[in-house]
Structure 1
Amino acid sequence: MNAGSLEIAQALTDAARAIHQPRSLEATLDAIVEAARDTVPGFDHVGISVAHSNGEIETLAGTDQLVWELDTLQYQLGQGPCVDAIREFPIVPVEKAAEDPRWPDYMPAAARAGLRAQLGVRLFNEDETLGGLNLYSVHADTIAAGAVELAALFASHATIALGRARKEEHLNDALVTRKVIGQAIGIVCERYKITEDQAFHFLVRASSTSNIKLRGIAQEIVDSTNQEYERGADD
């Protein structure tokens, strides 16, 4: 194995280690984009975008301000390699950016900002599209041999990190929902002198008739009770 291969292997190992260390999602993604920038040949800046369920796309990590600027420009215009990698094609390479006609609003502005080549790689698992890995070059007009495959390896690490964060987020939401509903049941039991089962069915009926999710009904009961308590304490 030559020196270049050893450096790549070490960078991938470091990225994998970053995922399993007890650190925040932001710190993990920062480590991945920095490793990708230092390892994928021909690219100067790297960023990671996340796709939200409402259709919005947000940048969570970037190695340079240019990443945030070009990412944001693509989100605002609704076009560009970053957007296409998330919504249409899993890998979107761009060479000689100033001459590429595919994104007539984005590419001229990006070229004026110094962009010469770009690569968008989708982050996805078997269940959903999570976001994209975005690589930008301001020095090379072409994409080096092996760069796409190497970028895809870093994308797989980012996918693992984002997937884990999504699962933790869903778990936390479930725990919060359970806690709020439990509090609301206790309030309804006390207020109407009924059993927990009766209180739960009371909340379910209120949710059904108002077309508001059960958690929303429960949160409203808890919030209104807290407000009543605070007003009473002030008096």
Structure 2
Amino acid sequence: MVESAATAITEIALELHKQPDTDRTVQAVAEFATALVGADHAGVMLVHGRKRVEIAATTGPVVDRADQLQLELDEGPCLSAIEAGATFVITDTRSEPRWPRWCHEVNQLGIGSVLSIRLATDESKVGALNLYADTVDRFGDPDDIVVGQILAQHASIALDSARKLDNLHEAVDGRTVIGQAQGILMERFDLHPDQAFAVLRRYSQQTNTRLGEIARKLVATRELPNWGQ
């Protein structure tokens, strides 16, 4: 199975890198993983900063609820995969002792077995991939785990790259809108660039509002905020 999946994984890796942003990339990861490993459902959680975890993509309402339960109960194989940097297999949610509350709840959803694999690069902790099956012992074949882990490696690189590109675009957009706001202030009040930037920064500090947000409001309304409010 591993050898036959190698070509498919290579093609999937190329497709992941073609996605235009993180949202599209993470959704593609969930969908490709479901088909490649033969799971019934899949979901991806991403880590932001050091601790905040979000449900980034799912293949349907069953996963929406299963992943949300992990966050609500603060337990589950996906969270453990992120924390421990490892892969976890649940062969039967009816008898799994490691996450008893979560397993009880997802068994009621019709989930029988689970494969959770960390997503990470050498530089960063990306998140985790959850694969769900409606039957028990679906992921008992070691090849399933190997294929899932190989896919996860490619997915981690693609997601890390997509997130860095999104951050770069956001930074560029932020600088652009700040420049536009400076231009409005310079024209209206005959200010130099440094003076216009100082006005934006002062209002940002006084209102405890991000500089980029101040600039966006000014560009959108072309009106200065009421400094007295």
TM-score, normalised on structure 2? 0.81
Compare 19-28 and 44-53 and name the one that shifted more. 19-28
Partner of 1:231: none
Render the CA deviation track for 1:173-197: whole Å, top value 9, x for unaligned: 1122112111111121123212112
Q: Distance in 2 between matches of 1:61 and 1:71?
A: 9
Partner of 1:170: 167
Q: Judging changes above 3 Å, is the alpha-carbon distance between structure 1 residues 105 and 25 closer, same or farther for their aligned structure 2 residues?
A: same
Aligned-residue Cα RMSD (Å) equals 2.8
Instruction: State which structure, 1 or 2, has the greater radius of gyration over its C-alpha atoms.
Output: 1
Segments of 5+ residues of structure 1 without an aligned counterpart are 229-235
Once the 2 structures are TM-superposed, how far is the Cα of residue 84 of structure 1 from its aligned partner?
Answer: 2.0
Render the CA deviation track for 1:129-174: whole Å, top value 9, x for unaligned: 2221101222232621233222111111221222122122112211
Partner of 2:117: 121
Render the CA deviation track for 1:16-53: whole Å, top value 9, x for unaligned: 12123355655544544444334436x43332222344
Q: SS at 2:152's partner residue?
A: helix
Once the 2 structures are TM-superposed, how far is the Cα of residue 216 of structure 1 from its aligned partner?
Answer: 2.9
Identity of aligned residues (%): 32
Q: Judging changes above 3 Å, is the alpha-carbon distance between structure 1 residues 87 and 204 closer, same or farther for their aligned structure 2 residues?
A: same
Are 2:94 and 1:92 aligned?
Answer: no
Once the 2 structures are TM-superposed, how far is the Cα of residue 55 of structure 1 from its aligned partner?
Answer: 1.7
Q: SS at 2:136's partner residue?
A: coil
Q: Judging changes above 3 Å, is the alpha-carbon distance between structure 1 residues 21 and 223 closer, same or farther for their aligned structure 2 residues?
A: closer
* Equivalent runs, 1:145-164 vs 2, <5 Å: 145-164=142-161
Once the 2 structures are TM-superposed, how far is the Cα of residue 227 of structure 1 from its aligned partner?
Answer: 8.9
| 2:13–2:155 Cα contact (<8 Å) kept | no
* Equivalent runs, 1:33-52 vs 2, <5 Å: 33-40=30-37, 43-52=39-48
Letter in 1 for 2:161: R
Letter in 2 for 1:118: V
Q: SS at 1:97's partner residue?
A: coil
Q: Judging changes above 3 Å, is the alpha-carbon distance between structure 1 residues 210 and 155 closer, same or farther for their aligned structure 2 residues?
A: same
Partner of 1:222: 219
Letter in 1 for 2:219: V
Segments of 5+ residues of structure 2 without an aligned counterpart are none
Partner of 1:186: 183
Are 2:82 and 1:78 aligned?
Answer: no
Q: SS at 1:110's partner residue?
A: helix
Q: Distance in 1 between matches of 2:147 and 2:101?
A: 29
The counterpart of 1:137, out of the listed 133, 137, 140, is 133
Q: Distance in 1 between matches of 2:206 and 2:55?
A: 36
